[in-house]
Structure 1
Amino acid sequence: MATMLNGAAVMDAALLLIAGNESCPQPQTSEHLAAVEIMQLNHLLILQNKIDIIKESQAREQYEHIRSFVQGTVADGAPIIPISAQLKYNVDVVCEYICKKVPVPLRDFSSAARLIVIRSFDVNKPGSEVENLKGGVAGGSILRGILRIGQEIEVRPGIVSKSTDGKVQCRPIFSRIVSLFAEQNQLQYAVPGGLIGVGTKIDPTLCRGDRLVGHILGAVGTLPDIFTEIEIAYFLLRRLLGVRTEGGKKAAKVQKLSRGEVLMVNIGSLSTGGRVIAVKGDAAKIALTDPICTEVNEKIALSRRIEKHWRLIGWGTIRRGTTIKPTLPNSN
């Protein structure tokens, strides 16, 4: 679920995949559909997969179940395309729909560049010679602006540590872009839309194993504040999604937020823990486990630990929060 929410932060549209040989909806299907609504994805395409292993009557019956399931949701009226991913039936139709029917969002090319990191890695092979070592690579989607080779960049929050008195410190990472890739294509500059790999001069150890996921990369001096606590206006789902129920029983109701409980908070592409330190009406104050570079009015998703799984329970909007000043290299 966390992976899906993190990825949704950079999506323009979504494909809802439903197995034709299973009943609809499966627990996770309803949970993922709710997540799509939270992330305000308005362009959906429903794929009815595995039609090669079921009878036509079964496919038609499930089609009706899907129609009634999505009624009243953001997917109401979305086209349902029967496919077989294994045998590649109708995959060409899916591609045609994406190209012709899903509108390309208006992109902002004039603002300062900003990229949300959803992957990061070290591209060096074990045993590489020192002179052949390459800097870390950050993968993500550009939200706005244009990134160019040779451009000076900043990554926030950057390196997080604690001072001698126990206070959280963040040191942004400053570097330069040395390469840009989309798939296997090398670029001179990159614009919003699609996933981009940004080669940098950052110590590859800092990028290894997705360590930069949830960070923001952009032009120096233009990135948002770093928050350690956030105050949110939140809304909870009426009932739990993604939990199997026996017979025709309804899923359990979502309990109200309580002071001191630990939630999983998804902000942009970051999943982090958050302790509820105050609740009043539909407002709550949450202390974050990891500092996050974000903005006021950003949408977040809230999940609670239920039966050893994190389950989506609601969403919120950041109203204000406690920020920390980044430690700059020349401030020591």
Structure 2
Amino acid sequence: MKKKIGVFILTLTLMFGLCSNTVFAAYSDVYQNGWYYGAVQYVSQNGIMTGLNDTYFGVGESLKRGQFALILYRLAGTPDVEFENKFPDIGANDWYANAVIWASDNGIVTGYTDTGLFGPSDEITREQMVTMLHRFEGSPQVSADLSGYPDSGLVGAWSLAGMQWAVANGIISGDNNMLNPQGITTREVCATIIMRFQGGEYIETEAGPGGFVNPCPGANYVSSEFGYRVSPTEGASSNHQGRDYAASEGTAILAAASGKVVLVGYTSARGNYIVIDHGNGVECYYQHCSKIIASAGDIVEAGEKIAEVGSTGIVSGPHLHFEVHENGVPVDPRKYVPE
């Protein structure tokens, strides 16, 4: 298991690709052959960006200042914020309020000098984004020669330090040899920037029939399949939403596919359990563990040991209860794992 460590390297260069008819399961406008595909999945998988609604990401739509403040706030871990009436157009109940106040308190954003407004619904420009990222990094002082860009004279005095830092560090390589400082940033470009800023990558998986590995190859047998059953013990559901692998205490539990550990926890029913996001809207739950090896935030590979079989929670004996969820809905694991 390995943690993804931010290396703070990004680029504002726009790239274009051909689109196929295959779309990302969660969003109708995110095409599998689009150059932005992996980036959108990465920010979605890591909870950094969400769609404009449950089925529409907003490819080609401009990013707003309030949205970008929220992105930086999430990257900072969404720290607690006490609301202050700093901007006339930011109310305590606005969805971006905490993010904007946090960013203001930390010197990352300011309002417009002529009006005092923040402009949460205003489109964010390239120089605004670079400046916020520069401040987010701590405003390192770096000089660079911008004369090679024909439009370098359009860079505002207020954004010059950030633009020089970005160019000196290869963060901006130019948009058709132009800095385009007043150009508007679209949502998929932002997703790509954030993925590179984090030094991350999307873990592509073989989600589909037969694509996953057996999560418990050391099991003695499968004791219960998905669907209706006679409850094996008091408190256990008769509507079984997973697959049970009967095995001895301590038997290895493996990641069924590559992905990111998004939750490690305990409940009285599930016992010790772990949840892995395998991409493409697929999450798997591994329950009743005696020991959990992986930690939240880990990137794991298919077949990697993540836990050990136990009898925690509501059980009639030691086993792995394995669930597969497609966009939050439990489905028969036999659609994915080998028999």
TM range (shorter): under 0.3
Q: Which has the higher strand share?
A: 1
Query: When the two structures are superposed, what TM-score results if normalisation uses the length of structure 1?
Result: 0.25
Q: Looking at CA atoms only, which structure, 1 or 2, has the larger radius of gyration?
A: 2
